[in-house]
Structure 1
Amino acid sequence: MAESLRLQLRRVVLESGTLAGRIYNLVIFGTILLSVIGLLVQPHPMRVAAPGEIPLWVEELERACLLVFMADYLLHLWVSPKPLAYARSFFGLIDLSAVLFFFVPQINSGLILWIFKFGRVLRVFKLLRFMDEAQQLGRALKASARRIGVFLFFVVMAQVVLGYLMVAFESNHPDTQFQTAGQGVYWAIVTMTTVGYGDFVPQTVQGQLLAAVVMLLGFGIIAIPTGIVTVESIQQARQDRLRVCSQCGHQEHRRGAVHCDQCGAPLPALPQSPSS
């Protein structure tokens, strides 16, 4: 009896293809959004709220969300085929934090209080469970992490060189704002990312020409990682769809499908993209 109930709840909690599963996910999704609304009216995170400072409806909303999150976490532990693996996973830790950090102790330490309240903010990551695109993007980022890391390493080296050149160009100007190489690197980062605070401005012609070059480089710096992730995302989506059913040979399936959309047979696991 208990095992039958567990299997039924597993289809509701872990699978969104059924009507009950969609309703369950909708309830959790709505609870997350409501809890985020409650966070928007919380007082300053570095101090303890005075009595009556938090509206009563926010406190009641927090309690209701706590009950839903606790039930969701316990259900996941009970119905998961591998409860310990779920508890140690990213979403398991996020689900635990959504429950654990509701219990903020009344302490006077601003730093410790901020840590506990920050843990409560992490519940917004529970929304990722309901987005197939987020999971696909995560796989694409993981597969392209090494290439992006190498690219960013060369970008950092280029910014160090450009910052040092700016300090060298500006060193002889009487009104120069660049006194150290660190200030030059900071300027290169701000300029290349097209932020442009304006706190460091080149005064010489050579410095202004170098600034123009760095600004133009900024467009390419932003576009290259986007292209890498986009290509990997397309490959991930193609691999996700083109899984061949061993029973009927059907290839086109829903994203993240576990069973064949044509005959219902189990599909092979998603292939892992090698990081290169």
Structure 2
Amino acid sequence: MKTTLYDLLEDTGQARGAARAIRHFLVGLIVVNVTLAVIETLPAVRAGYGGILTHIQMASGALFILEYCARLYVADLHPPLRRYGPFGARLRYALHMDAIVDLIAALPLILVFMLPHHAFTVVVILRLLRFLKLARYSPAIRSLLQAIASERWALMGATLIVSGVILFAATVMYLIEKDAQPDKFQSIPHAIWWAIATVTTVGYGDVVPITGLGKTIGGFFMLLGYGLIALPVGIIASAFAREIHSRDFVVSWSMVARVPLFEDLKAAEIAEVARLLQAQKVRAGHVIAEKGDVADRMFFISEGTAEIALKDKSIYLDTGDFFGELALIHQRPRTATIRAFHDCELLVLEAHALQQMMEKNPALATKILQEAERRGEEAVQSLGDLVSEELAMADVVADGGDGDTEEPDLFVEEEATAGEEPSPDEPKS
């Protein structure tokens, strides 16, 4: 039960459909809670629907507490934390930023019973902080935060430069305008407000220079502000792009490492194979691989769902699955057609690209060919060219329909999901 709970919360097991449902439910719950925390501050809404909103917030708080306790309970199953034992693993997990955000999301319900009524503001702020939980489910937000953290010293340097320019602008304007406007530029701290509004190009207009020299200097600092604001923006943008590229490479590397044909390769060799991957997008309903075509490439699904419809069932390959492994070595005609069930983003490894790399690296070629020969014999004995690992994580749905697609003679073993025989997938060679 504990392992199943861990798989559902961390989306690491074979019950990916249930894990995705839980993840989507939690994301929706976070959005609903943040929205209600905002509209609840409207007096009319609070007066008319205060009771209903309170019950929703109480139920949501209970769910967030339950989620936090469940994640803390399975914390010792995380691979990096296992060596610390049950207590040490949970303590280290509780100090992790994700766990702290989960705790913040659970606190409002607890504080409602502990704080006096006039502490409503604290509870509202904590409810709004539940928005931070979205970082757990959004790779883009996590990548942005990592990019900011990685460039923190450069951002601190840019902040010092901007602060220095603001202080200099305030000092100059104070010296120029103090006699003309003693009420607005009576000191450097008073002039700093004008300098901040000017350098950041906001320009509120409540404090403006009136002398000719002051207007000239003010215009100079306005133009300088555009360049200064571009400093941190450029730093974050370049770091974010680098982080996205690194994440995509790690994802590609891990996908390649899962393929049995490459699992015995060294990390550097897997990285070489990963660099050969090409991106391809296929719209829902369009064909990815046609029956009868030469199987000369393999596919990794980086996002989306692919479908093989057979006579009495459908096979669905989801994000992270692959097919066409043996197509890289033995280019046979495909025995089934596979289509994009949802819009798919694929990574494609072409046979000729891999063969060229193998020609340059004989040791790598030997490893791959030996594994391909062994797995090719298994496929032949099974009267097919798809190996079971490609379908082990696939969703098999019985249709009972009268589809006109002939069931391909694919390699299938009784190790499938949900205790039923994994269905044949797209033909692979």
CA distance, structure 2, for counterparts of residue 149 and residue 192 of structure 1: 17
Tell me the CA shift for residue 24 of structure 1.
Answer: 0.7
> For 1:14, which of 10, 14, 25 is the aligned residue?
10
Compared CA separation, residues 237 and 206, structure 1 to 2 (3 A): same
Counterpart Cα distance in 1 of 2:47 and 2:181: 58
> 1:74 is matched with which residue?
69
Instruction: Measure the CA separation in 1 of the matches of 2:195 and 2:240.
Output: 31
Answer whether contact 1:102 1:120 (CA < 8 A) is retained: no
Quote the residue 2:226 is aligned against.
Answer: 219
Q: Is the 8 A contact 1:176 1:202 kept in 2?
A: no
- SS of 2:207 mapped into structure 1: coil
Gaps in structure 2 of 5+ consecutive residues: 79-88, 258-262, 278-299, 304-319, 326-388, 390-429
Give the aligned partner of residue 167 of structure 2.
Answer: 160
> Which residue does the alignment assign to 2:130?
123
Whether contact under 8 Å (1:28, 1:68) holds in the other structure is no
Confirm whether residue 93 of structure 1 aligns to residue 100 of structure 2: yes
Supply the distance in 1 between the matched residues of 2:20 and 2:127 (Cα, whole angstroms): 25
Residue number in structure 1 paired with 2:188: 181
**In structure 1, distance between residues paired with 2:12 and 2:226:** 41
Structure 1 residues 239 and 174, CA gap change in structure 2 (3 angstroms): closer
CA distance in 2, matches of 1:160, 1:40: 37
**Unpaired segments of 5 or more residues in structure 1?**
46-50, 265-276
CA contact (8 A) 2:34 2:127 kept: no
Separation in 2, partners of 1:121, 1:242: 34
Mapped to 2, the partners of 1:12 and 1:64 lie a distance apart of 21
More strand by share: 2
Deviation at 1:53, TM superposition (A): 6.7
Match of 2:35 in 1: 37
Percent identity, aligned pairs only, is 24
* Cα separation, 2, equivalents of 1:226 and 1:101: 35
TM-score with structure 2 setting the length: 0.53
Instruction: State the Cα deviation string for residues 116-143 of structure 1 (Å, max 9, x = none).
Output: 4322322121122111001111111011
One-letter amino acid matched to 1:186? W
Contact 2:176/2:213 (<8 A) preserved: yes
Matched, 1:241 2:252: no
CA deviation after TM superposition for structure 1 residue 233, in Å: 1.5
Question: Are residue 201 (structure 1) and residue 214 (structure 2) matched?
Answer: no
The one-character-per-residue Cα deviations of 1:72-123 (angstroms, maximum 9, x if unpaired) are 112211222332222212221121122222131476574x443343223221
**Partner deviation per Cα, 1:148-200 (whole Å, 9 max, x = no partner):** 10111121111111111011111343677311111222211111112212121
Structure with the higher helix share, 1 or 2: 1
Q: Greater relative contact order (Cα 8 A, min sep 6): structure 1 or 2?
A: 1
Larger displacement relative to structure 2 (196-205 or 232-241): 232-241
Counterpart of 2:58? 63
Q: Is the 8 A contact 1:69 1:95 kept in 2?
A: yes
Cα distance in 1, alignment partners of residues 36 and 102 from structure 2: 18
Matching residue of 1:145 = 152
Distance verdict in 2 for CA 1:30–1:163, change over 3 Å: same
Count residues in correspondence.
251
Looking at structure 2, the residues matched to 107 and 129 of structure 1 have their Cα atoms a distance apart, in angstroms, of 29
Residues 31 and 68 of structure 1 are in contact (CA less than 8 Å); yes or no, is this contact kept in structure 2? Answer: no
Relative to structure 1, the CA distance from residue 41 to residue 232 in structure 2 (aligned partners, 3 Å threshold; closer, same or farther) is: closer
Once the two structures are superposed, what CA deviation does each residue of 1:20-52 show, in whole Å capped at 9, x if it has no partner?
Answer: 21111011111112212321233489xxxxx96
Letter in 1 for 2:200: T
TM-score (norm 1): 0.80
Q: Is the 8 A contact 2:33 2:127 kept in 1?
A: no
Select between 168-177 and 81-90 the one with higher mean Cα deviation: 168-177
3-state SS in 2 of match to 1:198 = coil
Q: Please say if residues 34 and 61 of structure 1, whose CA atoms lie closer than 8 Å, have aligned partners that are also in contact.
A: no
Q: 1:107 to 1:87 in 2, by over 3 A?
A: closer
Deviation at 1:67, TM superposition (A): 2.7
Q: CA deviation at 1:238?
A: 2.2
Task: Describe the shift of the 1:105–1:35 C-alpha distance in structure 2 as closer, same or farther (beyond 3 A).
Answer: same
CA–CA separation in structure 1 for the residues paired with 2:116 and 2:54? 20
Counterpart code for 1:61 = I
Cα distance change of structure 1 residues 166 and 247 upon mapping to structure 2, 3 Å threshold: farther
CA distance in 2, matches of 1:174, 1:238: 53
AA aligned to 2:54 is E
